[in-house]
Amino acid sequence: MIEATTDKFSAGEQGLGYIYQARFALLQLLQLSEDTAIFMEKDDDLDFVDNWGGKSLASLKHKAIGDRLTDLSTDFWKSVRIWLTRYKRDGRITSNLRFFLFTTGTVSDTSFLKRFLSTQTGMGDEIITLAEQAAEVLSKTSSKLIGGIAKEFNELASTEKQDFLARILILDNSPRIEDIPETIKDRHMRSIRREHRDSLFERLEGWWNDATIKLLTGTRDAGIYGYEVSDKLSALSEEYKLDNLPITFRGKVPADAIDTESDPRAFVVQLREIGISSSRIRNSILDYYRAFEQRSEWARENLLVSGEIEDYEDRLIDEWSRYRDVVLEELDENSVEDVLRGAGRELYKWADQQSGNYESLRIRARVIEPYVTRGSFHILANATPEPRVYWHPLFLDRLGVLLGVSK
């Protein structure tokens, strides 16, 4: 697993390493071909498999600032041990493996490891081959750990040693965990308005973390493909267009238990007054919660134009009042209670089941999530000092008695 400098009694750095693994994997998959699949904790920290079956194994090292790789750094040689095992298993020279060491540290200027950097070309011009130089370095160690790795390395034939080492690439100065979000936003979210990029990244990473958990727990067998990340990023981006808003409370439920029989809120009292069933009242409470929390989140993230909610509510009230006039047209002061309650149920049925079909009643054209409209009607029905919409024709006249307050 990823190593990091840490106090021996602290698990903080190890935990940071696991988070880094997932976050770094997201960055890499965004930069690779969309046909590339990624696996975690399979043959190495990360495995990348391309469309042609080629596999790249990546070891990740999130190190303390200023850390350097030297000739006998265990960060490098522990990775070599992993790679040697995979190399021998997969046919040695005939294998399709490549090996990458990503480290936030840097390679020492005096270390032979500089020959593994991407900026080091023309290795064939060296007087000493890479295999010979590695053997010379390994011969100087008294470490049992590295000595064991040297023994495994020396089991290779001379041509295999050179072939194996030629497959290794060190990428030092890799981005640190705290720098990756900005890197992703700068390189892959330029089509998104700057003020929305933080929110979009949080949602993308939330989806990504869930996907990696499924991968690590075996819930998901196949790797995660680059095109899945592209598709998700594209879908999320669409929600931040001028005619749309992000929907993030679908399926969410309030922390407190739902009590349809004694909930004192005005919008619930209204529903009980017209005889709505307990199961439908429960759905209404959920719609209210989701719409209220969603609108609050939009406001916190500055996604709404000034006065947009007020204009939206005015449109809902205007349409409600028009339909109310139609429903109440045949009623008069002599109408019996059952008729009044029936009219209230018909008016509520329109708001609950039909209003979402009106494009003019959407807060924005592409916001079609039903709980936004339904819940907004309940928010209006819950307004103080008196509801701005109501269902029972005489609800306003009975308001004080029903809510236990003076009108």
Q: How many domains is the chain partitioned into structurally?
A: 2
In the structure, how many helices (H) and strands (E) does the chain have?
14, 8
Q: Are residues 122 and 19 in the same domain?
A: yes
Q: Is the peptide bond before 246 cis (omega within 30 degrees of 0)?
A: no
Q: Are residues 279 and 143 in the same domain?
A: no
pLDDT band at 125 (very low <50, low <70, confident <90, very high): low
pLDDT band at 231 (very low <50, low <70, confident <90, very high): very high
Spatial distance between the Cα atoms of 310 and 324, rounded to a whole number of angstroms? 21
CB–CB of 161/131 below 8 Å? yes
Rg of the Cα atoms in the chain: 32
For residue 279, the tally of other CB atoms under 10 A from its CB is: 9
What predicted TM-score, i.e. pTM, was given to this entire model?
0.80
CB–CB of 144/74 below 8 Å? no
pLDDT, mean of residues 173-193: 94
Asked if the structure places residue 241 within a domain, the reply is: no
Final residue before a domain boundary, out of 185, 202, 229: 185
Asked if the structure places residue 120 within a domain, the reply is: yes
pLDDT, mean of residues 256-278: 96
pLDDT, mean of residues 175-187: 96
Spatial distance between the Cα atoms of 73 and 94, rounded to a whole number of angstroms? 29
Q: Are residues 168 and 293 in the same domain?
A: no
CB–CB of 308/362 below 8 Å? no
CB–CB of 258/285 below 8 Å? yes
pLDDT of 6 above 60: no
Spatial distance between the Cα atoms of 287 and 295, rounded to a whole number of angstroms? 12
Q: Are residues 126 and 273 in the same domain?
A: no
Q: Are residues 275 and 384 in the same domain?
A: yes
Q: Are residues 163 and 289 in the same domain?
A: no
| DSSP category for residue 351 | I
Question: Which two three-digit tokens encode residue 168?
Answer: 């290794």
**What are 354-373's pLDDT values in tens digits?**
998 899 999 999 999 999 99
Q: Are residues 174 and 316 in the same domain?
A: no
Final residue before a domain boundary, out of 136, 167, 185: 185
Question: Which CATH number belongs to the domain containing residue 66 in this structure?
Answer: 3.40.1350
Q: Are residues 280 and 172 in the same domain?
A: no
Supply the range of the domain harboring residue 375.
Answer: 266-403
Spatial distance between the Cα atoms of 366 and 82, rounded to a whole number of angstroms? 51
CB–CB of 63/83 below 8 Å? no
Asked if the structure places residue 302 within a domain, the reply is: yes
Q: Are strands 55-61 and 37-40 parallel, antiparallel or unpaired?
A: unpaired
- Check residue 82 and give its pLDDT: 97
CB–CB of 56/97 below 8 Å? yes
pLDDT band at 99 (very low <50, low <70, confident <90, very high): very high
Count of alpha carbons within 13 angstroms of residue 168, beta-carbon side: 26
Q: Are residues 53 and 163 in the same domain?
A: yes
pLDDT band at 398 (very low <50, low <70, confident <90, very high): confident
Q: Are residues 176 and 302 in the same domain?
A: no
Per the prediction, the chain carries an average pLDDT of 91
CB–CB of 344/393 below 8 Å? yes
**What are 272-283's pLDDT values in tens digits?**
999 999 999 999
Asked if the structure places residue 99 within a domain, the reply is: yes
Ranges of beta strands (E only) in 262-373 are none
- Check residue 123 and give its pLDDT: 45
Asked if the structure places residue 351 within a domain, the reply is: yes
Q: Is the dihedral of CA 253, 259, 261, 267 positive or negative?
A: negative
pLDDT of 338 above 70: yes
How far from each other are the two terminal CA atoms of the chain, in whole angstroms? 67
Asked if the structure places residue 246 within a domain, the reply is: no
Q: Are residues 396 and 271 in the same domain?
A: yes
What residues contact 294, with CB distance under 8 A and at least 6 apart? 247, 248, 249, 371, 372, 375
Final residue before a domain boundary, out of 185, 204, 221: 185
Q: Are residues 164 and 293 in the same domain?
A: no
Distance of CA 313 to the CA centre of its chain: 31
- Check residue 43 and give its pLDDT: 96
CB–CB of 260/268 below 8 Å? yes
Burial class (CB in 10 A: 0-12, 13-18, 19+), 45: buried
Asked if the structure places residue 329 within a domain, the reply is: yes
Asked if the structure places residue 105 within a domain, the reply is: yes
Count of alpha carbons within 13 angstroms of residue 302, beta-carbon side: 6
